[in-house]
Amino acid sequence: MSNLRDLPPGGVLYKDVKRRVLQALADGEFKPGEAIPSEKKLVERFGVSIGTLRKAIDELVAENLLIRHQGRGTFVAMHRRDDHFFRFFKVAHEDGHRGYPTVQQKSFRRIKADKAACALLGLESGERVFHFTNVLSLDERPVMIDDIMLPERLFPGLTETQLRERPNTLYNFYQDAFGVNVIQTEERLRAVLATETEAGLIGVDVGAPLIRIHRVAFSFHRLPVEWRVSTLDTAHHEFIVSQMPKEDS
């Protein structure tokens, strides 16, 4: 990372510091699960005041990219089986209970991206994607279908076996196996009626009311890395639109 002594003065200074820290994260200089350098080292490196540095770090913590551990330092966030997981898995039982789903992989193939995939994933015509379908169950009941596309160029060599035997969540797998970090998602919801295929996968009647969620997941610099279409049975479950972040202790 280059020295920041040429940064502009005034209130925009911390934004430049934040941008350079983001670049270090994108470049893999600051790795998931590891502590970033101390405030003293970062102040010296960037040539800014402690207040400017802290304002930049505060925003990255608020955006869940960094995590503060009292007495230990500030760490790069990871996709683990904890509260960070529920930032992206937003399904809860109607009584508010949230649990970890079991996942059954139904299909996997490598295909040519269609126009919609090219537009949403920023691909050129003719590029390939990996397309796979999972059924997610809660309390042994199928509740959601995930239809997912990934750009081949970001996940070279991905295999069905890798996906099926991954030891953790998908986003953790992306991070550990391919260095792809999901830091933000954008979602659109629509009420739909179950098709025959969907009804068969999650055990509802054809024409039953469902919610369809179109999600594009982004890495650093707004790079689209995943297009996911989820179909949720809302007979006993709900989709949580927003959630207050949990304070780290």
Task: Please write the tens of the pLDDT for every residue from 144-183.
Answer: 999 999 999 999 999 999 999 998 889 999 998 999 999 9
Question: What is the predicted pLDDT for the residue at 158?
Answer: 97
Show the domains of the chain with their CATH numbers.
Answer: 13-76 (1.10.10.10), 85-239 (3.40.1410.10)
pTM over 0.75, yes/no = yes
Those residues with Cβ within 8 angstroms of residue 86's Cβ, 6 or more apart along the chain or in another chain: 98, 243
**How many Cα atoms are found within 13 Å in the side-chain-facing hemisphere of 64?**
20
Furthest CA-CA distance within the chain? 64
- Environment class of residue 88 by beta-carbon count within 10 Å: exposed (0-12), middle (13-18) or buried (19+)? middle
Instruction: Give residue 13's pLDDT band: very low, low, confident or very high (50, 70, 90).
Output: confident
**Per-residue model confidence (pLDDT) at position 248:** 40
